[in-house]
């Protein structure tokens, strides 16, 4: 159930009986031959599909994140870790003010992870608030299913190539790209980073059969749904 499809009166009615919501986190950054909004699209979709049968409210995905290393690729948008932490905790503060006490963050971008401690610390300081952070693409079952096909799968490879992230007119290579060695790259310039990784994929196949993708997506949705139902 998307907040985008509701009025404030309907959210108020929801809060009379429920205090759980989902906040997806994405990013706008290069994804080789896939959409620049891949992380946002995937975080939003896996959250919505996981929450729908439960009737749980899903807020719009935050479309910008921490991705300075990709700034040599046009279309990428980044914010500083300090700005992101402040944005995230202020969003969480808004949710708490309205009565949400159980908040599941479904993160779709690894670069956002530095903000996790700040979000979790924010929740610990608020009595009665429980926050869960779920990196959907590397949850145990999902990652195991990916590794069973191609353990070199990584950023902008087939593991993010679904019908809803592919771009019309973009033709990915059919080859398997060796995984790029990213050791020692934490402080290099965006231009040097682009020279190292080329088209933007970190390695792996570019596409896989739809049957494999469907099976992995089903696992990802199930794992995300378990975050919403188990152990609060």
pLDDT at 187 over 90: no
CATH number at residue 35: 3.40.50.10310
Q: Find where tokens 């992230």 sit.
A: 165
The predicted structure's pLDDT at residue 184: 84
Q: Are 100 and 71 in contact (CB under 8 A)?
A: no
Digit-coded pLDDT (tens) for 108-142: 999 999 999 999 999 999 999 999 999 999 999 99
pLDDT at 200 over 90: yes
List CB contacts of 195: < 8 A, sequence separation 6 or more. Answer: none
Q: Are 100 and 16 in contact (CB under 8 A)?
A: no
Average pLDDT taken over every residue of the chain: 96
When divided into structural domains, the chain yields a total of: 1
pLDDT, average across residues 188-216: 96
Residue 141 sits at φ, ψ, to 5 deg, of: -70, -40
The predicted structure's pLDDT at residue 231: 84
pLDDT, average across residues 168-188: 91
The predicted structure's pLDDT at residue 122: 98
Q: Which domain holds residue 28?
A: 3-229
pLDDT at 47 over 90: yes
Q: For residue 46, name the pLDDT band (cuts at 50, 70, 90).
A: very high
Q: What percent of the chain has a predicted confidence (pLDDT) above 70?
A: 100
Digit-coded pLDDT (tens) for 53-70: 999 999 999 999 999 999
Digit-coded pLDDT (tens) for 66-114: 999 999 999 999 999 999 999 999 999 999 999 999 999 999 999 999 9
Residue 117 burial (CB count, 10 A): 11
Report the Cα 168 to chain-centroid distance in Å.
22
Q: What percent of the chain has a predicted confidence (pLDDT) above 90?
A: 96
Say how many Å lie between the first and final Cα of the chain, rounded: 20
pTM of the prediction? 0.95
pLDDT at 185 over 90: no
The predicted structure's pLDDT at residue 173: 93
The predicted structure's pLDDT at residue 186: 82
């Amino acid at each position: 159930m998307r907040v985008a499809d509701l009025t404030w009166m309907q959210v108020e009615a929801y809060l009379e009986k429920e205090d759980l919501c989902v906040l997806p986190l994405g990013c706008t950054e290069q994804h080789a031959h896939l959409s620049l909004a891949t992380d946002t699209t995937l975080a939003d979709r896996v959250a919505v599909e996981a929450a729908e049968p439960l009737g749980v409210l899903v807020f719009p995905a935050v479309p910008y994140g921490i991705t300075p290393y990709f700034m040599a690729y046009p279309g990428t948008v980044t914010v500083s870790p300090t700005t992101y932490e402040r944005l995230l905790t202020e969003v969480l503060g808004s949710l708490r003010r309205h009565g949400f006490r159980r908040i599941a963050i479904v993160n779709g971008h690894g670069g956002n992870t530095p903000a996790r401690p700040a979000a979790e610390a924010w929740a610990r300081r608020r009595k009665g608030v429980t926050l869960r952070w779920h990196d959907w693409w590397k949850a145990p079952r999902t990652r195991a299913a990916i590794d069973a096909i191609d353990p070199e799968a990584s950023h902008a490879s087939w593991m993010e190539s679904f019908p809803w992230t592919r771009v019309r007119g973009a033709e990915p290579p059919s080859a398997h790209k060796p995984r790029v060695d990213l050791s020692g790259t934490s402080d290099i310039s965006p231009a040097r980073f682009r020279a190292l990784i080329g088209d933007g994929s970190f390695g792996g196949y570019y596409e896989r059969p739809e049957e494999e993708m469907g099976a992995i997506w089903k696992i990802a949705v199930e794992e995300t749904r378990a975050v919403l139902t188990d152990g609060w």
